[in-house]
């Protein structure tokens, strides 16, 4: 890797695309897309310099800096982080968890405990396809990202966690943020720069570099 190369890892879901799309054709940037858990692993194991990653995963990795002004969040319904079921959520005895995003799992557990006076259904970790296929009776599923969008209209009950969090706390749901492995992001000489006013990257004569 050259001194000017920047390794960027980002979650591959549709809602993240505005934050990484402009970097795809920048020669000085190596862009890798993956599931949230894989993106977190890459920056934890020094395979990336900058990552658009789950906030919960970032808390488990030491010595990270946040790039302010860029994140994926919501002030209401998100459609892409949902609990689906054929019974009301409060009646579920089992919940399949899509484990590709630690933040979504933590958010779901916090909301379920708040709704059920501290109780939780039995939690079962699996992939999104398996989770959706198992929904029946008193078993629901937490699904995130593109699989959640693709499942719209399939199930009788849907709890949108963005909307539920807003109703419960009055706060914005923080989902993904841009983190760098050390130092902070600043302008340099090639490629792209951060554009925090628009919440993305602005292609120009400068690049993102680590101090």
Question: What is the structure's pLDDT at 101?
Answer: 75
pLDDT per residue as tens, the chain (211 positions): 555 788 999 888 887 888 888 888 888 889 999 988 888 889 888 899 888 877 777 777 777 777 777 777 778 888 989 999 999 999 999 999 988 777 788 889 999 999 998 999 999 999 899 999 999 999 999 998 889 999 999 999 999 999 998 999 888 775 555 556 544 444 442 333 333 333 333 322 222 333 2
For 1-11, letters b (16+ CB in 10 Å) and e give eeeeebbbbbb
Measured CA to CA, the distance from residue 134 to residue 125 in angstroms comes to 12
Vertex 107: Cα angle to 173 and 46 (nearest 5) = 85
**Shortest CA distance to 98 belongs to which of 126, 122, 129, 78?**
126
| pTM flag (> 0.85) | no
How many CA atoms lie less than 13 Å away from 24 in the CB half-sphere? 8
Which superfamily does CATH assign the domain made up of 81-171 to?
Answer: Periplasmic binding protein-like II (3.40.190.10)
Please state which architecture CATH assigns to domain 6-73+174-210: 3-Layer(aba) Sandwich (3.40)
Question: What is the structure's pLDDT at 193?
Answer: 39
Question: What is the structure's pLDDT at 2?
Answer: 56
Question: What is the structure's pLDDT at 24?
Answer: 84
Question: What is the structure's pLDDT at 177?
Answer: 55
Question: What is the structure's pLDDT at 89?
Answer: 93
CATH 3.40.190.10 segments of the chain: 6-73+174-210, 81-171
**Per-residue three-class SS string for the chain:** CCCCCEEEEEECCHHHHHHHHHHCCCCCEEEEEECHHHHHHHHHCCCCCEEEEEHHHHCCCCCCEEEEEEEEEECCCCCCEEEEECCCHHHCCEEEEECCCHHHHHHHHHHHHHHCCCCCCEEEEECHHHHHHCCECCEEEEEEHHHHHHCCCCCCEEEEHHHHHHHHHCCCEEEEEEEECCCCEEECCCCEEEECCCCEEEECCCCEEEC
């Amino acid at each position: 890797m050259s001194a000017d190369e920047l390794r960027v890892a980002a979650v591959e879901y549709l809602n993240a695309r505005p934050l990484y799309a402009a970097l795809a054709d920048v020669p000085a940037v190596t862009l890798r897309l993956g599931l949230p858990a894989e993106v977190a692993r890459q920056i934890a194991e020094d395979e990336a310099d900058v990552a658009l990653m789950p906030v919960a995963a970032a808390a488990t990795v030491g010595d990270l800096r946040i790039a302010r002004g860029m994140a994926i969040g919501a002030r209401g319904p998100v459609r892409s982080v949902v609990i689906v079921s054929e019974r009301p959520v409060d009646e579920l005895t089992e919940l399949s968890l899509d484990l590709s995003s630690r933040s979504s799992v933590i958010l779901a557990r916090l909301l379920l405990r708040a709704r059920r006076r501290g109780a939780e259904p039995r939690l079962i970790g699996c992939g999104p396809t398996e989770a959706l296929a198992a929904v029946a009776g008193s078993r629901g599923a937490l699904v995130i990202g593109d699989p959640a969008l693709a499942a719209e209209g399939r199930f009788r009950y849907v709890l949108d966690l963005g909307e539920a969090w807003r109703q419960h706390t009055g706060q914005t749901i923080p989902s993904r943020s841009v983190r760098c492995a050390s130092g902070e992001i600043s302008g340099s000489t090639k490629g792209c720069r951060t554009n925090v006013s628009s919440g993305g990257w602005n292609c120009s004569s400068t690049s993102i570099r680590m101090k």
